[in-house]
Amino acid sequence: MAEITQKKMEQIALMWNARGKGLITHMALDIEEVSTEGVRVRMPFNPDFCVDADQTLLHGGILTALLDSVFGLANFVAIDGVSTMATLDLRVDYLRPARSRADVIVTAHCFRKTRHIAFDSGSIWFDGHEEAEIARGTASFALTRGETSLFDAMTEGKAS
């Protein structure tokens, strides 16, 4: 696949960050790499997301929300002309306890797309521990295409 332009990558990142609400905003996600081959995003360590007294064990729901959000970014990068998307199915396999105070890294890519469905996969690990995945996920998304894509609407200032 062809690489996207630096300008479009920056615009997608701005749009994705601007549309974040609630928990996603609280995650303070930082896009590290973006291409049509996939994305890499960093979530800084946040003790509010931990479920133990030592504040080292991340709640599984945080990992699920993180994957779902980053899959959406991967779809926007890989698929032109999407007006909206909705998660149809999301599966997360937790491979080991998410116990650390390190930043969390997630990679995701859209490995197949049809006119109306996108299929994604991704994985999560702690920074510096790429060999020890915390979780791995797959998802499918319903895509809606309209006259104006969400990307075009956002870059032209038409979407809220």
Reported as a single tens digit per residue, the pLDDT across 68-108 is 999 999 998 888 888 889 999 999 999 999 999 999 999 99
Q: Is 75 left (phi over 0), alpha (psi -120 to 50) or beta?
A: alpha
Sequence-ordered list of residues with C-beta below 8 angstroms from that of 89, at least 6 positions apart, any chain = 139, 140
Give me the percent of the chain exceeding a pLDDT of 90: 56
pLDDT at 2 over 70: no
Higher pLDDT, 24 or 45: 45
What integer best gives the mean pLDDT of the chain?
A: 86
Range among 48-52, 57-61, 121-125 with highest mean pLDDT value: 121-125
The rounded distance, in Å, linking the Cα atoms of 131 and 41 is: 17
| CA nearest neighbour of 159 among 61, 10, 14 | 14
Q: Is the pLDDT of residue 147 over 80?
A: no
Lowest mean pLDDT segment, chosen from 26-35, 43-52, 54-63: 26-35
What confidence score (pLDDT) does residue 160 get?
43
pTM of the model: 0.85
